[in-house]
Structure 1
Amino acid sequence: MSIRKSFALMAILGMSSLSLSAQEWKPVEGKIMTPWADKVDPAQPLPEYPRPQLKRADWQNLNGLWEYAITASSQQNIPVAFDGKILVPYPVESALSGVGKRIGKDQLLWYKTTASISKPKADQVLLHFGAVDWQCDLYVNGQKVGRHEGGFDPFSFNITKYLKKGKKQDIALRVWDPTDDGPQPRGKQVKNPEGIWYTPVTGIWQTVWTEVVPTTHIVTTKHTPDVDGSSIKVQASLQDAKTGDIVKFVAFDGTQQVGEATLPSGVEGDIAITNPKLWSPETPHLYQLKIYLYRGAKQIDYAESYFAMRKSSLKKDAAGINRLALNNKISFQYGPLDQGWWPDGLFTAPTDEALLFDIVKTKEMGFNMIRKHIKLEPARWYYYCDSVGIMVWQDMPSGDLGGNRWDMRPGQISGYNRDKERSAESEAYYRKEWKAIMDAAHNFPSIVVWVPFNEAWGQFKTKEITEWTMKYDPSRLINSASGGNFFYTGNILDIHNYPDPNMPDPAIFGNSGQALVLGEFGGLGLPVEGHTWQEKNNWGYQSFKNKTELMQRYSKMMGDLKKLIPLGLSAAVYTQTTDVEVETNGILTYDRKVMKMPEAELKKLHQALYDANENVK
């Protein structure tokens, strides 16, 4: 069944709590809203297929109006009475949830819905969650199915044995999130938002969906391009594999088949790609991948995916300084710090169109890279980066802050190279979620750099974590600690400097074997009346009175940044794409309604940076 037909069938059949009328929901008032808030359909919010890298036809979206209750953390059982309706998948604190309430460490958030799911005779039903922050227990028809801990990684449960006869199935979720009172990765969330710290996000914040699969089915695939070898390395993991089961990967360029490989479960193999079309921001070429699971001559599972041929590496210039390279060519990478926050949905973009907007707008401004700052986005965000052509530096969400000393002075490396001593529990949460994030995002070719730590926020065992990351994914570069406590490990030496551009001294660090980058700078602020999170007390690293002054200051910064490229600077990250809550240092306002600097002028300034890079030998 096609995705379009499956949605049409859902609309005909209806789902008790998901087909509730729009009159039962409205956004919480009092905050600015994006243009897409009015396009949110409470009967079917974010209806798009959520997993572009492993697509199947037989699936059902469970987003919509659910019941919710806020209880004491001592509550052991599913509540009998609920407080009202919440629009999933928008966080309970957000305006688009229709609730707009805070949840503390001494409270629980409960969800409940009745979904139309028939128990199959032979197949299995998987219940998928794009992300739930932070700890959640799933119940189906009153029976506990399992627990997941992790606020950013996708997960699923096989709920087949918990389904009852008939189509009506009760689904409940218990969520606990201590925000900054706990040791878990949380990014910029704090219970008392101020400055660069933002509103907590609790509960479901990405799409919830079911999928019908065979008992033996493809769980994950892994695609790793080998540009030098003109091949794509592929492998698949299976659930309940039997001896002799094989997976056939068939690669296509458009409608033309270009290669194939047949492999057992968990075994890596190569598909040769003759004269590969390389992926880059200028030519973001994607190949299609069809994946078949066979038992003998019988096909028992099928999924679709995609891949790209691109290489992320270092390359020495004539002076012996390592530079960032894409597809074996020195590449100056310049992009904004992108935090992925929304005034109406917080972690959750109001619509898929909104999710795409930020990426397209970034490309229109002439950036070729985005640093995705201490947040993992939904899979569709990376799919759009892959499709539009934007390189991504992917941060690990920070957590368990404090206890480190950090001092980044212009032109110097941090004055205090001290790892934080984290508890065994805290360390385990970090390691578990970092691996889960890397696994979930591995197949997206746009990701060219992993960033385990930011500014010493919870930074610990830096060399060990960096070396593990490099070994776990040698296909990408590792920026061990962006602007943090520096250790000689990883591929990149990254300083932060506000507001003006600067770089590590090439006379001192040019022979370190690492690329020299400016991981954050800028932060030029301009509050735009009527488009701010709050009316007053907004701030930027340096504030301006009007767009003209802002543009003049930014233009000068670009001239200064251009001068650093011949000296050995490989990349820079400007703070930031949009305003976020009280931070008004975005190129766009938080509601995405006002561009503070014209796209065409920005693109011209940025092209001069890439032109300067062309002279690097």
Structure 2
Amino acid sequence: MKQLYTKWGRELNPEHILEEYPRPLLVRESYINLNGRWEYAFTKTFRRPEMFEGTILVPFSPESILSGVGRQLKPDEYLWYRCSFSVSLQILRESAQHRLLHFGAVDQSCVVYINGREAVRHTGGYLPFQADITDLLIEGENELAVVVKDLSDTSYHARGKQKLKRGGMFYTAQGGIWQTVWMEDVPKNHITELIAEPDFDAGRVKMTVKSEKPSDMQIQIYPARMQLREEQNKGMSYREEQMNKSPTQDPLICVEGTSNKPIEIMLPEVHPWTCEAPYLYYFTVKMEKDVAQSYFAMRTFTVEKDKGGIPRICLNHQVQFQKGVLDQGYWPDGLYTAPSDEALIFDIQSMKDMGFNMIRKHIKIEPQRWYYHCDRLGMVVWQDMVNGGGQYRSWFVTYAATVLSWRNVKVKDGFTRLLARQEKAGRLEFIREMKETVRLLKGHPSIAAWVIFNEGWGQFQASKMTEILRNEDNTRLIDQASGWFDQGGGNLQSIHNYFFKLRIRPEEHRATVLSEFGGYSMRKEGHSACLTQYGYGIFTDERLLNKAYRKLERDVEKLIPKGLCASVYTQLSDVEEEVNGIFTYDREVQKIQNSEAMGK
């Protein structure tokens, strides 16, 4: 496979790696970024190595070229990391502060040590975790060590599109630390979570400030702040007011209350969040010695019947056709980890410029900054749960399922062996991680829908999962089973179609969506990672590719009056062999142009 680089990867400065504040929904001034060069070693046993092999650039996984390693972490190995940081215990004690250590994501299981003593262990390669390491610290230099085990697709753990033997629609497996590692200092009784639940119809927001013990607090809500956008020769760059700076405007409202108790706040003025005007309310919470900032938006996503009795997706009770694109979140130089914040922005803004108003984030959880950019740029998100389970049986979940779906043959999802969900531990883990995913991301106003299962990969008891998910969040739409093995629940009848003539059969209560289609492929010499190519319809001429895409767009548009409510084109960029992207894998060439540029 040819190694490709994005422009952001080529320009990477190892001394300044992903330094932006990683948690936009709970921002403090205290922020110590630990990204950078760490030591690493591979071992065959769970024993700390006597010698480390070299340096790795965290948070890039060892399989990525940007890590400086370029080596696969195998299921029978352990990956060890080590770095050091300085601490003044005197200052911590005098200020009565606690030191928290955060990991954005480590794939799959890990144990974290501070000065040789265990601080925390975690399993779940897509979710963040933290530890209070105050009692493990010493004066001066401290050692942080992490050991990682990644079973990849040899176990039932969540894995997304990762596969040790990549090919086709499955991509290079990556492991280890792949999101920002950072620390912050907080008071002993500090804000642990900020929950803002907007009630669009009532013009109010319910605020809950979580803390270890109830304390008096003050909440100040501010209007949206200016976002500055600069055009450059290629792509976009953005300068934005830092969220951890004091707001320059006077607050719209100021309320007092007690942490751990919900407070309902009526807004003096309601500015709806839309794709065209993504208005955000920022707020500051002061509780004892702790101060944190966050934001929310006033909007609601619903399914409502139009004048003809057809269920439609609505934003703020206005019918919105959600024109979406599938996004795998893979990068040729960083794999799961984007080389920079600007790279994340480029993908989102480029899709807006293409005329899309929605991105389906495909079986991957991004760093929270990706969702923050969708919030502030006005891009609707459908968020997939990350799939897991045993080895998938392609003859059943791909080939047979495609034909059965086209013929509208319903198949129950109780066949745990055929759907690769035999292990009870794996089913329980999926439920736990589904709940954690919702709790992590539900504060982002851009998220319109949760997608539980995709094409039967590790699917089980979808109706029960829908009930569990609804209890976690009843404010968003649910796509119970994207593609096939539909059990009739959720808010969406979710169809995949790559091979047949487009058609729909609208239902009485659920909105009908084309949640995957297209996938037209074209290999671009010099910008393709593989000689082989995978996709749905192969083109060698860019003009013919665009002509076919325009026709497909028109075919979709004809279905909207008949009841189609959303579409998701496959896909945003090429990934390895799968060269059906609007952009090439390196984001250097835009193969499909927007309608205005090409002319309809």
Aligned to 1:270: 264
- From 93, 100, 114, the counterpart of 2:70: 100
8 Å contact kept, 2:313–2:319: yes
The CA deviation at 1:500 is 6.0
The CA deviation at 1:604 is 6.9
Return the alpha-carbon distance in structure 2 between the equivalents of residues 190 and 521 of structure 1: 23
Root-mean-square deviation over aligned CA pairs: 1.7
Within a 5 Å distance, the mapping from 1:298-317 to structure 2 comes to 299-317=288-306
Distance 1:152 1:420, change over 3 A: farther
The CA deviation at 1:325 is 0.6
Amino acid across the alignment from 1:532: S
1:56-115 CA-partner distances (Å, limit 9, x unpaired): 11111000000001111x323x22211110000001100100001011111011100011
1:322-361 CA-partner distances (Å, limit 9, x unpaired): 1111001111001110010000000000111111110010
Return the alpha-carbon distance in structure 2 between the equivalents of residues 454 and 138 of structure 1: 33
Return the alpha-carbon distance in structure 1 between the equivalents of residues 444 and 409 of structure 2: 32
- From 269, 281, 284, the counterpart of 2:278: 284
Return the alpha-carbon distance in structure 2 between the equivalents of residues 477 and 246 of structure 1: 35
Amino acid across the alignment from 2:488: Y
Return the alpha-carbon distance in structure 2 between the equivalents of residues 602 and 201 of structure 1: 37
Return the alpha-carbon distance in structure 2 between the equivalents of residues 41 and 341 of structure 1: 20
Distance 1:313 1:127, change over 3 A: same
Within a 5 Å distance, the mapping from 1:48-67 to structure 2 comes to 48-67=20-39
8 Å contact kept, 2:169–2:534: no
Aligned to 2:357: 368
Aligned to 2:526: 530
1:289-317 CA-partner distances (Å, limit 9, x unpaired): 11111xxxxx3110111111110111101
Return the alpha-carbon distance in structure 1 between the equivalents of residues 255 and 384 of structure 2: 33
Q: Single out whichever of 523-532 and 320-329 deviates more from structure 2.
A: 320-329
- From 515, 539, 545, the counterpart of 1:519: 515
Return the alpha-carbon distance in structure 1 between the equivalents of residues 387 and 333 of structure 2: 23
Return the alpha-carbon distance in structure 2 between the equivalents of residues 444 and 483 of structure 1: 25
Return the alpha-carbon distance in structure 2 between the equivalents of residues 329 and 558 of structure 1: 23
The CA deviation at 1:427 is 1.1
The CA deviation at 1:602 is 6.7
Return the alpha-carbon distance in structure 2 between the equivalents of residues 349 and 583 of structure 1: 19
Q: Secondary structure at the match of 1:479?
A: strand
Distance 1:600 1:489, change over 3 A: closer
Return the alpha-carbon distance in structure 1 between the equivalents of residues 100 and 538 of structure 2: 50
Distance 1:260 1:420, change over 3 A: farther
Amino acid across the alignment from 1:543: I
Distance 1:602 1:188, change over 3 A: farther
1:217-269 CA-partner distances (Å, limit 9, x unpaired): 00111112110010112112113x15xx1232221114242234433332222
Q: Secondary structure at the match of 1:185?
A: coil
Within a 5 Å distance, the mapping from 1:448-597 to structure 2 comes to 448-499=448-499, 502-506=502-506, 510-511=507-508, 513-534=509-530, 536-597=531-592
Aligned to 1:610: none
Q: Secondary structure at the match of 1:571?
A: strand
8 Å contact kept, 2:221–2:254: yes
The CA deviation at 1:407 is 1.4
Aligned to 1:599: 594
Amino acid across the alignment from 1:205: W
The CA deviation at 1:501 is 6.6
Return the alpha-carbon distance in structure 2 between the equivalents of residues 371 and 279 of structure 1: 19
Return the alpha-carbon distance in structure 1 between the equivalents of residues 162 and 425 of structure 2: 20
2:117 aligned with 1:147: no
Return the alpha-carbon distance in structure 2 between the equivalents of residues 201 and 262 of structure 1: 47
Q: Secondary structure at the match of 1:470?
A: helix
8 Å contact kept, 2:413–2:461: no
Return the alpha-carbon distance in structure 1 between the equivalents of residues 490 and 598 of structure 2: 31
Return the alpha-carbon distance in structure 2 between the equivalents of residues 334 and 603 of structure 1: 18
Q: Secondary structure at the match of 1:383?
A: helix
User: Unmatched 5+ residue regions in structure 2?
Assistant: 225-248
Identity of aligned residues (%): 42
Q: Secondary structure at the match of 1:96?
A: helix
8 Å contact kept, 2:380–2:448: yes
Within a 5 Å distance, the mapping from 1:403-482 to structure 2 comes to 405=397, 407-409=401-403, 411-421=406-416, 422=421, 423-482=423-482
Q: Secondary structure at the match of 2:208?
A: strand
Return the alpha-carbon distance in structure 1 between the equivalents of residues 73 and 409 of structure 2: 37
1:549-587 CA-partner distances (Å, limit 9, x unpaired): 001101111111111000111000000000011100000
8 Å contact kept, 2:572–2:582: yes
Amino acid across the alignment from 1:521: F
- From 322, 331, 340, the counterpart of 2:320: 331
Return the alpha-carbon distance in structure 2 between the equivalents of residues 338 and 575 of structure 1: 8
2:205 aligned with 1:232: yes
Return the alpha-carbon distance in structure 1 between the equivalents of residues 176 and 75 of structure 2: 13
Return the alpha-carbon distance in structure 1 between the equivalents of residues 31 and 593 of structure 2: 42
Aligned to 2:105: 131
2:80 aligned with 1:110: yes
Aligned to 1:188: 161
8 Å contact kept, 2:413–2:487: no
Q: Secondary structure at the match of 2:163?
A: coil
The CA deviation at 1:437 is 1.1
The CA deviation at 1:318 is 2.1
8 Å contact kept, 2:87–2:139: no
- From 42, 49, 58, the counterpart of 2:14: 42
Return the alpha-carbon distance in structure 2 between the equivalents of residues 233 and 467 of structure 1: 23
The CA deviation at 1:30 is 5.0
The CA deviation at 1:472 is 1.1
2:227 aligned with 1:252: no
Return the alpha-carbon distance in structure 2 between the equivalents of residues 414 and 150 of structure 1: 35
Return the alpha-carbon distance in structure 2 between the equivalents of residues 41 and 117 of structure 1: 26
Return the alpha-carbon distance in structure 1 between the equivalents of residues 209 and 504 of structure 2: 42
Return the alpha-carbon distance in structure 1 between the equivalents of residues 528 and 582 of structure 2: 13
Aligned to 2:245: none
The CA deviation at 1:411 is 4.8
Aligned to 2:246: none
Return the alpha-carbon distance in structure 2 between the equivalents of residues 131 and 47 of structure 1: 16
The CA deviation at 1:520 is 0.2
Return the alpha-carbon distance in structure 2 between the equivalents of residues 599 and 116 of structure 1: 51
Under a length normalisation based on structure 2, what TM-score does the superposition of the two structures give? Answer: 0.91
Aligned to 1:156: 130
Return the alpha-carbon distance in structure 1 between the equivalents of residues 27 and 599 of structure 2: 39
Aligned residues: 561
The CA deviation at 1:490 is 0.7
